[in-house]
Amino acid sequence: MIRLVLADMDGTLLPKGGENVSYRTIKAVRALLDAGVRFGPATGRQAYELDRRFFGARDCYGTAIAANGKRVYVDGELRREILVERSVLERLYGLLSTVPNAFLVVETADNGGGTRPWYCVTARAGDAAWFGRNVGFKAEACDELPDEDAISAEIACAGSDEQYEELLARARELVPECEFATSQVHWCDVMPQGINKGYGLKVLLDELGISLDEVVFFGDADNDLPLMELIPNSVAMANATPAAAAAARWHVGDVADEGAAVALEEIARAVGAGETPAFMRGDACPTPAAVAGDDPDDEGEYEDDATAEAIRALLAQHLGNA
């Protein structure tokens, strides 16, 4: 029996570059709720961002795993919060302040309404503004770490792919107690070891009294793997990374074709009829190999090559104008 549906945002419910989920998605979520199934986003985004993405439809995101598991909400109430340790920020600051075109991004914990900027420490103003526009946050370049508690930290790199990969390797050595997950091109989420979407799931299940086999999760990216590895009924979008596609048990349509909304509608219908959703019976579903690609060594990093190349082109243009 399905009692809880969780879904990633970017690349799953929200197309790359999209500002809001579709009206169809909101209707599908409400159909789930009417069928007695809880729904919640499982995302790196904060709750205040979800309000805008869902047009203020709080019933669609009151239960959520936010900030990549560092915040867990049930019916609009914050039930768990994990902050980024100061020593982690200081070590990353020391590293990134010596690397051209790279910087540390810090969001303070008291930014509940999303009105405060994210601090781009040691960033050039143009680089900070570029990532702010393309990732979607209010950016402010500064020279020193803010003397405040932080709910999130990210590494941004406006350089080459090679520089970005080398930088992450150095960061992993310097801060072994943290996990590093690339969620967008040259943008890496820094999380305390073991604190990820999977950790948020465990908190949420304890709060709700729901078991893993009663959960369905939709995702598309490598930072969704902790959930896909835990949840038996994990679902990958057609635009998923090869790793996410291979990890998922089920597969649905592309985010551009509202694949998640269609699947949510089917879950609501099937629950009401006492049936198994069609895509969970394997009906008209591609095989994992077909979704993941033919090359087992191609691990991929982003949701699709076209998106990655477009963002790289924008980065190159930005660097050329800097």
pLDDT (tens digit per residue) in 251-277: 999 999 999 999 999 999 999 999 999
User: What pLDDT is stored for residue 296 in this prediction?
Assistant: 37
Secondary structure class of 64 (helix, strand, coil): strand
Superfamily of chain region 4-81+196-292: HAD superfamily/HAD-like (3.40.50.1000)
Domain boundaries, the chain: 4-81+196-292, 86-192
User: What pLDDT is stored for residue 19 in this prediction?
Assistant: 86
Higher pLDDT, 202 or 282: 202
Share of the chain above pLDDT 90, in %: 73
As a dihedral over the C-alpha atoms of residue 190, residue 312, residue 301, residue 198, rounded to 10 degrees, the angle is 30
Say how far apart CA 196 and CA 227 lie, in whole Å: 9
- Beta-bridge mates of residue 10: 14
User: What pLDDT is stored for residue 237 in this prediction?
Assistant: 97
Query: DSSP string spanning 201-247?
Result: HHHHHHHHT--GGGEEEEE-SGGGHHHHHH-SEEEE-TT--HHHHHH
* Token pair of 215 as six digits: 């959960």
Looking at the domain 86-192, which fold is it? 3.30.1240
Report yes or no on whether pTM surpasses 0.75. Answer: yes
Is the confidence at residue 285, as pLDDT, over 50?
no
* pLDDT, averaged across the chain: 88
Contacts of 113 (CB under 8 A, 6+ apart): 48
User: What pLDDT is stored for residue 287 in this prediction?
Assistant: 34
C-alpha to C-alpha distances, 46 to 111, 220, 241, 290, nearest whole angstrom: 9, 19, 23, 34
Contacts of 268 (CB under 8 A, 6+ apart): 28, 31, 32, 34, 35, 37
pLDDT (tens digit per residue) in 191-241: 899 998 999 999 999 999 999 999 999 999 888 998 999 999 999 999 999
Instruction: Kindly give the residue spans of alpha helices, DSSP state H, lying in the chain.
Output: 23-34, 47-53, 86-96, 125-131, 161-174, 197-208, 225-230, 242-247, 259-273, 288-292, 305-321
pLDDT (tens digit per residue) in 144-199: 999 999 999 999 999 999 999 999 999 999 999 998 988 788 999 998 999 989 99
Contacts of 123 (CB under 8 A, 6+ apart): 103, 105, 139, 141, 156
* Token pair of 281 as six digits: 């019976």
